[in-house]
Structure 1
Amino acid sequence: MVTISLSMIVKNEENNIRRCLNSIRGIVDEIIIVDTGSTDNTKEICALYTDKIYDFEWIDDFSAARNYSYRLAAKDYILWLDADDFLLPEDRVKLKKLKETLNPQINTVMMNYNTGLDFQGNVIFSYYRERLTKRECNFKWNEPVHEYLLTEGPFLETDICITHGKIPGETSSDRNLKIYEKKLSNLEFLSPRGTYYYARELKDHDNFLEASRQFELFLDTDLGWLEDNISACSELAKCYLKLNQDKRALACLFRSFIYCAPRAEICCQIGYYYQEKMDYETAAFWFQFILSLKKPKQCWGFLQHDCWSYIPLIESAVCYDRMGDYNKALKYNTRALKIKPDSLQAKQNQTYLQNKVALNRKNKTKGVP
């Protein structure tokens, strides 16, 4: 059986850290906490779980802090978590089993990162991350912000999930944006990946014009990861819509088809585009087209799961309702309701559409045109 070090970097996480460490306790063989400047009770809480707590002077570089935490690890494999990550009970069981059965020839274990849940706890947004790596490989973290671990195979892709849950009421920070701006003011070079994430930060802070320029710059390098290229097309389209450049937005969405077969997330955006233009027939085409697509099985990029089933069904219902075809609308809404029986929108739609269909039948019986 292999041994595992948990290596974490934290700062002011007193609201999150206990849940995280409770969820992993009893599975890992050591817990390493690298604190980057907490002023709350984070370190005191961590001391209840481990005596391996270290200070690291923050230098606006997440990779530097993570690499320091990895150098402190002493076990066969290193696992990383953020303070607002945790394992659900079923994933604790899976990770324990993996620890007992992992082939030591594996260098990197990929795990699903569930970052979005609906009110019923269903996963609606996820992607894969490198989570467990062999220590002797000495893999390094890269990029000061939105860092990633540069690894190599042999890989093992598992169904173990790490769940991400932010504390309600937390607000978006401009920390990452400031790090990028500081680098640029110092005339430092941004990698293609850095340019992509800088553009995302700009968009998230409503600087749509500069964000669009950075997304275009990123795509023009033709050096991005395929999944980032697709995501950049999606995000760039959102920027152009905010800038009232509708045709450029639509062109960006179709541009994503260069990189791979159409993705449901992109096709939903196209459907919404035509829906906004009140071209319900074209919108319905795109929402129904999604239903013919197969969700990627070997995809380490972002997946918005509702875009592959629930959303195209319920939006098809909306489109046919607008076109006055209530029978078709009811058919699609019924399918959406089967996928999400607790959906308030689908329930309300179902009652409304059933009444519409019944009224049409009644009118036809009476000969009303």
Structure 2
Amino acid sequence: MITISLCIIVKNEENVIGNCLDSVKGVVDEINIVDTGSTDKTLDIVKKYTNRIYNFKWIDDFSAARNYSFDKATKDYILWLDADDVLLDEDIEKLKNLKATLNTDIDCVTFLYNYAQDSEGNPALIFRRERLVKRESKFPWVGFIHEYIGGDKKHIINADIVVTHKRIHGDSDRNLNIYKKKLKEGVKFSNRDIYYYGKELYYHGIYDEAIETFNSLLSEPIWIEEKIDIICKLSDCYGVKGNKEKAINILLSAFEIAPPRAEVIYRLGQNYEMLGRYYEAIYWYESIKNAKMPEDKAGFIYEELWSWKPFIQLCVCYNRIGDIDSAYIYHEKAKNLQPKNEYVIQNSKFFESIGYTKK
């Protein structure tokens, strides 16, 4: 059986770190906490779980802090988490089984990351991350923000273990400010840095600069999943700017590089719906049922776009063209999946208000 060192970097995580450590304390063999400047009760809480606590001066570089935490590990493999991550009971059992059966030739194990949940607690955004790595291989963290584990990993397996992100912190300017500081310092950005800088601009509503940044990457040799995400976000930016033609055309270009994805198809439906072209919107929304979700979930999978969200929009579009029966059918489909969703509740009230009864 392998042994596992848990490594976490923290700063002011008093509201979440206890939940994280409670969830994994029974399966890891060592807990290493690297604090980057907490001023709350984080360290008081951490001391209940481990005495392996280290201080690291924050230098606007996540990889530097994570590499320092990995240097403190002493066990066979290193598991890394963020302070607001947890493993649910079923995933702890899966991790225990992995721990008991893992072939030590394996360099790295990826886990699924349930990054965001919908109102029913179902995954809304899920993707894979490298979570468990062999310590003696000394795989380095790379990148000052949105860091990743580099190095030559010859033997990788994908586990069905899920790390669940229980985010409490709100939106922050931290990452955007770090990117701008690095640019001012003349730091040369990799394509990955440019991609994530573009996303920060996008999330902060700086659409013109986001468009320029994303477009600079479209001809670059980047990961297909990142290119698809760029196309989706470019479409959103063009949409906000009122250029629906560009929004639609950039989405159609995604079909040239990968099979149709719900993330792309849904946006096509949205754009045609906003143009009042409801038959075309219906075509695209209904096409999602024929799309195939990538089995490895290597990219950013917005599961709500593969399930209930198209049903809500189909309800709206069918109502717009006067097909109330079809609108109700899709309302019921959405309601079965998301009974507490505010739009589902509004639609229920609408059908009640017109006295519609199920046929």
Does TM, scored on the shorter chain, surpass 0.5? yes
Greater RCO (CA < 8 Å, at least 6 residues apart): 2
Aligned runs of 1:19-34 on 2, under 5 Å? 19-34=19-34
CA–CA distance in structure 1, aligned partners of residues 217 and 88 of structure 2: 37
CA–CA distance in structure 1, aligned partners of residues 309 and 213 of structure 2: 30
Identity in percent: 44
Match of 1:154 in 2: 155
Q: CA shift at 1:77, angstroms?
A: 0.4
- TM-score, normalised with respect to structure 2: 0.94
Match of 2:280 in 1: 282
Show structure 1 runs of 5+ residues with no match. 362-369
* Structure 1 position 199 matched with structure 2 position 226: no
CA–CA distance in structure 2, aligned partners of residues 65 and 351 of structure 1: 52
Native 8 Å contact 1:330 1:350 kept in 2: no
CA–CA distance in structure 2, aligned partners of residues 11 and 351 of structure 1: 45
| Cα gap change, 1:188 to 1:358, in 2 (>3 Å) | closer
Match of 1:94 in 2: 94
* Structure 1 position 39 matched with structure 2 position 39: yes
Q: CA shift at 1:341, angstroms?
A: 4.3
Show structure 2 runs of 5+ residues with no match. none
CA–CA distance in structure 2, aligned partners of residues 347 and 245 of structure 1: 32
CA–CA distance in structure 2, aligned partners of residues 347 and 173 of structure 1: 31
Match of 1:105 in 2: 105
CA–CA distance in structure 2, aligned partners of residues 324 and 178 of structure 1: 49
Q: CA shift at 1:352, angstroms?
A: 4.4
SS at match of 1:7: strand
Q: CA shift at 1:275, angstroms?
A: 0.7
Match of 1:333 in 2: 331
- Aligned Cα RMSD in Å? 2.0
| Cα gap change, 1:321 to 1:141, in 2 (>3 Å) | same
CA–CA distance in structure 2, aligned partners of residues 350 and 227 of structure 1: 37
| Cα gap change, 1:343 to 1:15, in 2 (>3 Å) | closer
| Cα gap change, 1:274 to 1:54, in 2 (>3 Å) | same
Deviates more, 1:346-355 or 1:22-31: 346-355
| Cα gap change, 1:273 to 1:26, in 2 (>3 Å) | same
- TM-score, normalised with respect to structure 1: 0.92
1:247 corresponds, among 245, 248, 270, to 245
Structure index of larger Rg:
1
CA–CA distance in structure 2, aligned partners of residues 89 and 104 of structure 1: 25
Native 8 Å contact 1:326 1:357 kept in 2: no
SS at match of 1:219: coil
Paired residues in the alignment total 358
Aligned runs of 1:1-369 on 2, under 5 Å? 1-150=1-150, 152-167=153-168, 170-220=169-219, 222-343=220-341, 345-346=343-344, 348-349=346-347, 352-353=350-351
SS at match of 2:131: strand
SS at match of 2:218: helix
CA–CA distance in structure 2, aligned partners of residues 122 and 294 of structure 1: 19
